Amino acid sequence: MTTTMSLPQVRELRTEIPGPLSRELQQRRTAAVAAGVSSVLPVFVTEAAGGVLRDVDGNSLIDLGSGIAVTNVGNAAPEVVEPVRRQAGEFTHTCFMVTPYENYLQVCEELAQLTPGDHDKRSALFNSGAEAVENAVKIARRATGRQAVVVFDHAYHGRTNLTMALTAKSKPYKHGFGPFAPEVYRVPMSYPARDQRSGAESAREAVDRIEKQLGADTVAAVMIEPLQGEGGFIEPAPGFLPAISKWCTDNGVLFVADEIQTGFCRTGAWFACDHENVVPDLITTAKGIAGGLPLAAVTGRAELMDALPPGSLGGTYGGNPLACAAALGSIRAMREQDLAAAARGIQDAVMPRLRSVAEYTDRILDVRGRGAMIGVEFVKAGGDEPDPELTSRIAKTCHEKGVVVLTCGTYGNVIRLLPPLVIGHDLLDEGLRVLEEAIVEHTR
């Protein structure tokens, strides 16, 4: 890597995980923080850089989660930190809707250039992924004059009211939180490891549902994660996305790609839609865009985005100048260090190793994903029944050994790897070795 990292890029355990100081903070936390906000691994972080997190007990952990696909350029990347520091000394906020500033424009210009398609584009900036998704729905409805929004099985689009309705999984995201927003319809997702069907066949089924149950002319938008995140790192069979996208175009329905998790080099291209040359009408981005500062965007065809009247989009903090400075630094790092290629390198390092582990056990149904977004799906012996208990035992062993891995999936039976794209190969190797050993320990 061209950048120097302030923390040694090594795993080093000084106490058990979590250590005594983290456990003390955990007690204070229970008394002050709502129980509904949980943590995967309750070590309290004091410092982070590149692919390492250091905690209050002095332990250094390998980060294979990037704070859920956010620190793609590495934690506290100098390319992000320096411009943010500078911006903070100049001004921290004016509200773009009151008096604008240039770095908001620069982020929108970058988005127009980087997102799929060479048509005329406009963007609007927000604070969180859920907020971007909500605004994409507003834009789609207003621009088409239609109301229905189609989403997929296993989809995850956020935790606000409208995005809960778009999200598939009930517990913990939706259960008890209704009533949900109306005019949201769910259709089957292509899931090659379980349905063994081609992308074209699965697309035909989804389209048939939409046409028979809704009628194409009521549908404002079809929204899809091109490679599903929280739902289990499910990558649709080749041809699925292009077929859905084509049907949308033929029927005046907007194809909305939710690239909040997959975007910004994560899958080995700037955006996951690029792998099949799919050009969405609207695209939502967040997570990896700004190296850890809260920023999100909707980018879309100029005529759709400009169909909404002044004042109908926005928010007090949307496109905050510190977040925009961070995004510009992060995009620059991705470009200069070719982090899309780095993500492909991570895929080349990780896939063969996990696939060879899978050969020794019938408890792994599938190893899948693209770039630095790779999932391992675990099942019970002798079949394909999901095994969330095994999955969490393996994750827990990794955590105790100082490797941060995350789980996901409608059935909670997928371990997902989302390392920072700048992770050194020694560190990645070591993290993988810990994961491999944990898999072997719990499946033999």
Ligand X SMILES: *Cc1c(COP(=O)(O)O)cnc(C)c1O
List contacts with ligand X (CB under 6 A).
128-130, 133, 156-158, 225, 229-230, 258, 260-261, 286
Closest CA to 258 of 177, 155, 360: 155
CB of 293 to ligand X, least distance (A): 12
Place of tokens 């050009």: 279
Sign, Cα dihedral of 351, 352, 357, 362: positive
CB of 177 to ligand X, least distance (A): 15
Closest CA to 160 of 142, 190, 139, 136: 136
Q: Which is nearer to ligand X, 160 or 251 (CB)?
A: 160
- Spatial distance between the Cα atoms of 217 and 219, rounded to a whole number of angstroms: 6
- Spatial distance between the Cα atoms of 76 and 73, rounded to a whole number of angstroms: 9
CB of 70 to ligand X, least distance (A): 9
Position 201, amino acid: E
Q: Which is nearer to ligand X, 154 or 363 (CB)?
A: 154
Q: Which is nearer to ligand X, 152 or 387 (CB)?
A: 152
Q: Which is nearer to ligand X, 11 or 416 (CB)?
A: 416
CB of 92 to ligand X, least distance (A): 21
CB of 331 to ligand X, least distance (A): 18
The answer to whether the beta carbons of residues 166 and 133 sit under 8 Å apart is: yes
Closest CA to 207 of 260, 245, 164, 157: 245
Q: Which is nearer to ligand X, 18 or 288 (CB)?
A: 288
Q: Which is nearer to ligand X, 17 or 270 (CB)?
A: 270
- Paired with 122 in beta bridges are 300
Q: Which is nearer to ligand X, 79 or 230 (CB)?
A: 230
Q: Which is nearer to ligand X, 15 or 160 (CB)?
A: 160
User: Peptide bond preceding 172: is omega within 30 degrees of 0, i.e. cis?
Assistant: yes
CB of 130 to ligand X, least distance (A): 3
Between helix 388-400 and helix 425-443 the angle, nearest 10°, is 130
CB of 261 to ligand X, least distance (A): 3
- Spatial distance between the Cα atoms of 176 and 170, rounded to a whole number of angstroms: 9
The answer to whether the beta carbons of residues 318 and 354 sit under 8 Å apart is: no
- Spatial distance between the Cα atoms of 207 and 332, rounded to a whole number of angstroms: 39
Q: Which residue is nearest to ligand X (CB)?
A: 129
CB of 230 to ligand X, least distance (A): 6
Phi and psi dihedrals of 161, rounded to 5? -60, -55
